[in-house]
Amino acid sequence: MHVAIVMDGNGRWAQEQGQPRIFGHREGANAVRRAVEAARHEAIDVLTLFAFSSDNWGRPVNEVSALMDLFGLYLESETKRCRQNGIRLSVIGRRDRLPVSLVEAIHLAEERTAAGDHMLLRIAVDYSARDSIYRAARAVDSAVSREFFELAIQAVMYSVSPALDVDLLIRTGGEMRLSDFLLWECAYAELVFLKKMWPDFRAKDLRDAIGEFHSRNRRFGKVPVAANPPVLTPAADMTNIPVLSQ
């Protein structure tokens, strides 16, 4: 099962307490640790977390640099834990605009956790779904068949996961939008929007969202067998025709 999370609401969470937004991002990093730990105990094969969108570069410089510092600290402190727990860490998104030290930390974290086979943890940094689709499309000959195009685009996109399609997408913070996250992969994702802010996210929220996912009827455009009406005999068919009132 592939779960993706838009971890939104750090800034508002901090502001609600009269604290600067960066305080919320720091607490958000703790929520990431909790979420990864919780995901490890659920049947989740791939967890993709939206940490920094390409549009987030437009935020104040001090917020952006605080976020970059936090990613570095997170990688430093979590690589060992991931390794111990069989979690393979991978960062998706552009790397050419990230601080060089962060790119090095990413390489190191990916290398050190490469053998993890319990869960794949993907962190999206400087990520834009549109940009990833654009890059993939450019790498693929436009004259190929649709099937080949889909295979090629999946291969070329930033993803390293075979389970590319998202099953369940969770967004905290109350907004009901994708904000350029995994547009291709969410074609048939079940969407769960939570009002609570990301720093308040707990293991139970993940469990509840997964419970909600299992209660949904995924049809993928088809008609589920169970929902097909039983085949009726002609007589029964006649009696079932509703009488329309004038």
Contact positions vs ligand IPE (CB under 6 A)? 6-12, 50-53, 56, 67, 173, 175, 177, 179
**Using CB atoms within 10 A of its CB, is residue 34 exposed (0-12), middle (13-18) or buried (19+)?**
middle
Q: Answer yes or no: are the C-beta atoms of 179 and 53 closer than 8 Å.
A: yes
How far apart (Å, rounded) are the C-alpha atoms in residues 95 and 105? 12
Question: 62-72: buried (b, 16+ CB within 10 Å) or exposed (e) per residue?
Answer: ebeebbbebbb
10 binds, among ligand IPE, Mg ion, none (CB under 5 to 8 A by kind): ligand IPE
Least Cβ distance, residue 141 to Mg ion (angstroms): 38
83 binds, among ligand IPE, Mg ion, none (CB under 5 to 8 A by kind): none
Among 207, 184, 209, 211, smallest CA distance to 194 is for 209
The 6-45 site mask, x for binding Mg ion (CB under 5 A), equals --x-------------------------------------
Among 123, 41, 27, smallest CA distance to 75 is for 123
105 binds, among ligand IPE, Mg ion, none (CB under 5 to 8 A by kind): none
Residue 158, token pair as written in the block:
């930033």
Helix (H, G, I), strand (E, B) or coil at 106: helix
The residue among 123 and 157 lying less far from ligand IPE, judged by its C-beta, is 123
How far apart (Å, rounded) are the C-alpha atoms in residues 118 and 81? 13
Residue 204, token pair as written in the block:
């139970």
The residue among 116 and 199 lying less far from Mg ion, judged by its C-beta, is 199
Q: Among all residues, whose Cβ is closest to ligand IPE?
A: 11
- Count interface residues toward Mg ion (CB under 5 A): 1
Least Cβ distance, residue 30 to Mg ion (angstroms): 18
Which residues are identified as catalytic? 8, 56
The residue among 8 and 190 lying less far from ligand IPE, judged by its C-beta, is 8
Question: Which residue is associated with the tokens 């455009």?
Answer: 221
The residue among 9 and 116 lying less far from ligand IPE, judged by its C-beta, is 9
Dihedral angle, C-alpha 184, 190, 195, 200, nearest 10 °? -90
Least Cβ distance, residue 56 to ligand IPE (angstroms): 5
Residues within the interface to Mg ion (CB under 5 A): 8
